Amino acid sequence: MLTLVSCIVVIASFMTTVNLFAERLPQFTEITKEAGIDFVHNNGAFGEKYLPETMGSGCAIFDYNADEWQDILLVNGMDWVGHPTGKRQTLALYRNNMDGTFTDVTIPAGLNLPVYGMGVAIGDYDNDGDDDIYISCLEDDRLFQNGGDGTFVDVTEKAGISNPGFGTSCAWLDYNLDGYLDIYVANYVEWSIETDIFCTLDGKNKAYCTPESYKGQASKLFRNRGNGTFVDASQNAGIIDPDSKSLGVCILDFNQDGLSDIFEANDTQPNKLYQNNGDGTFIEVGMLTAVAYDERGVATGAMGVDAADYDKSGRESLIIGNFSNEMLNLYRNEGDFFHDDAPIAQLGRTSLLTLTFGCFFFDFDLDGNIDIFTSNGHVETDINKVQSEVTYAQQPHLFRNMSEGIFKDVLHKVGQDLAKPIVGRGAAYGDIDNDGDQDLLVTTSNGPAHLYRNDGGNNNNWIKIQLVGTKSNRNGIGTRIRLKSSIGTQTKTVKSGSSYCSQSELTATFGINGDTVIESIEVFWLSGEVSELSNVQPNQKISIKEGQ
């Protein structure tokens, strides 16, 4: 007969086994080399420490040739005139070979143009069934139209796009609900080689300047006319702010009125939240909604940003990456305003010393709770000499959503590869092997890109939803999807841009843990139409067409 003590021991042993089993998480395995991705970012650095060299570039995961497999685009800088580095000078487009490898198709795709690129946004701006590419640049942005045959054509001038500023993150949106995608481009500061300023950390040697040294730049909103051309609508729309120093942009409908709003993450300047008035204009409500400053009333060094319904409230909240010695912001959407929950969500202390560029919400273990990934790395190579606790190369963060508003950094529980310190910049997610779970792509400043395969995320059930708009834009960007299963109700919005200068897969992925059936899926199109499905089987990709 078991004694009381022995029963307690048996129960404790059982609970320990259960807890260990519960902690078995997907593993992220770096497959960059074996996948055939040999890209190395070129910031043109040759010793003069020009400001743009610190910023890095973004990346995109998208299906450029419509073969149902996600491809990879890596944005690149280039050499400064008269100072050759011997490095690559162009973008890099890698076609998915459907077998775990990729082929560099930059040249045959027509993308081998030298530009000092920063950000990328993917969207079908002409509604012809294939995805086009917008590249924000240090000087003149580029718009590449997809020819539908695996090639792209530079139509920047023809389309009327002109942004001679310091472009950073960018995003497609349909702000006026006409069924055509418009483009928002965040601009940073007024900088040129001629106006470069000498800054120093030690009083002797030149260091990279902080943005306070330069004047800000107004961002741009280009309205799609629907005939292949765009018009600069920035002033008429009311988003002109020459004091902004923008690095991140995110499109969301924070007040759930069916209109796309714009959040702009500003470096050392107040963040902006442009509320869509529905008449082609916006009003800035950052102060009113409490997202302009942190809880100290200070404008942070904000960079990357993303929005998602992480708390299953039906409202989109914000995650913002900041400078070192400034924790992440987790702005929970309370309806009329936001509240920074980073400290109570247990994100604050962990993220205090890291400098975060790329950041986004995604469900890496498909348990139905939205997690957070951040790409970290400092801007000053010698920072450790003056701040002993801060390093140039840094580990990322992978915060698992434990529900009830709490997150736990599980970086060291998902394999050794992801935990290696890098000088992280852009970051995106997407299912590159079509196994249902979301893999990671991260860029570095003046260094290699990193591709991490998610192994085991699909141990839980999932569904992928691709939207095809007819009255709304073809990608369904801005469309809200609501899914119900036994674990509860989840909402996602299909969006372009976010993170830092990057673009994740446009297909919406929902994790449903162990649920074996999806009770309902509702799609709320920007046109006002609603598509409904019921009793859907998981572990498949489905396509939902507007009006059918």
In the DSSP assignment, the letter for residue 270 is -
pLDDT at 394: 97
Q: Which of 32, 28, 61, 70 is nearest to 457 (CA)?
A: 28
516 neighbors 539 (Cβ within 8 angstroms):
no
pLDDT of 139-186, one tens digit each? 899 999 999 999 999 999 999 999 999 999 999 999 999 999 999 999
Q: Give residue for tokens 């969301």.
A: 252
Q: Give residue for tokens 């290696």.
A: 420
Q: How many CB atoms within 10 Å of residue 435?
A: 16
Prediction pTM value: 0.94
pLDDT at 203: 81
pLDDT at 54 over 60: yes
Residue 204 pLDDT class (50, 70, 90 cuts): confident
Round to whole Å and give the CA distance between 207 and 210.
9
**What percentage of residues in the chain have a pLDDT greater than 70?**
96
Cβ-in-10-Å burial (0-12, 13-18, 19+) of 86 comes to: exposed
Round to whole Å and give the CA distance between 58 and 164.
19
Round to whole Å and give the CA distance between 493 and 465.
11
pLDDT at 6: 46
pLDDT at 4: 44
pLDDT of 322-348, one tens digit each? 999 999 999 999 999 999 999 999 999
DSSP strand E in 343-449: where?
356-362, 371-376, 397-401, 407-409, 424-430, 439-444
129 neighbors 147 (Cβ within 8 angstroms):
no
Round to whole Å and give the CA distance between 500 and 374.
10
**Residue 508: strand pairing partners:** 465
Q: Which of 461, 341, 307, 324 is nearest to 395 (CA)?
A: 324
Round to whole Å and give the CA distance between 535 and 515.
12
Residue range 363-386: mean pLDDT, rounded? 94
Round to whole Å and give the CA distance between 523 and 479.
7
pLDDT of 476-531, one tens digit each? 999 999 999 999 999 999 999 999 999 999 999 999 999 999 999 999 999 999 99
72 neighbors 95 (Cβ within 8 angstroms):
no
Q: How many CA atoms lie within 13 A of 528 on its CB side?
A: 2
Strands 540-545 and 461-468, by their bridges, are parallel
pLDDT of 466-475, one tens digit each? 999 999 999 9
In the DSSP assignment, the letter for residue 9 is H
pLDDT at 5: 43
Round to whole Å and give the CA distance between 107 and 105.
6
Round to whole Å and give the CA distance between 349 and 139.
38
Round to whole Å and give the CA distance between 321 and 324.
10
First-residue to last-residue Cα distance in the chain: 66
335 neighbors 355 (Cβ within 8 angstroms):
no
pLDDT at 443: 98
Round to whole Å and give the CA distance between 485 and 516.
9
Round to whole Å and give the CA distance between 316 and 498.
13
Residues in the chain: 548
3-state secondary structure of 511: strand
307 neighbors 299 (Cβ within 8 angstroms):
no
Q: How many CA atoms lie within 13 A of 256 on its CB side?
A: 15
Q: How many CA atoms lie within 13 A of 37 on its CB side?
A: 30
Round to whole Å and give the CA distance between 143 and 158.
10
pLDDT at 386: 82
Q: How many CA atoms lie within 13 A of 389 on its CB side?
A: 6
Q: Which of 7, 11, 146, 23 is nearest to 73 (CA)?
A: 146
Q: What share of the chain is helix, strand, coil (3-state, %, to 5)?
A: 10, 35, 55
